[in-house]
């Protein structure tokens, strides 16, 4: 199930809109910013019922 997610690029601050597939549970992946092309570390957290809990957008070198 695709869910639209909105946020800001941690590098350039531009608005970010993307779709995440929450049917697979928690996810940890990289997606390039549509404006500055920097790699954004995306962490998607889903609960046991398959509902989106949070999405963290971080710089590649953030812990």
Quote the pLDDT of residue 41: 96
Task: Count structural domains, the chain.
Answer: 1
Query: What residue numbers bound the domain in which 23 lies?
Result: 2-59
Taking the model in full, what pTM does it have? Answer: 0.84
Quote the pLDDT of residue 1: 86
As a whole number of angstroms, the distance between CA 7 and CA 31 comes to 13
Residue pair 53/47 in contact by the 8 Å Cβ criterion: yes
Q: Is pLDDT at 63 greater than 90 in this prediction?
A: no
pLDDT in tens, 10-62: 999 999 999 999 998 999 999 999 999 999 999 999 999 999 999 999 998 88
């Amino acid at each position: 199930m695709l869910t639209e997610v909105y946020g800001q690029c941690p590098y350039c601050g531009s608005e970010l809109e993307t779709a995440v597939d929450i049917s697979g549970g928690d996810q940890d992946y990289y997606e390039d910013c549509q404006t500055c092309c920097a790699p954004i570390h995306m962490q998607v957290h889903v609960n046991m019922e398959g509902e989106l809990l949070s999405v963290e957008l971080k710089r590649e070198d953030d812990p």
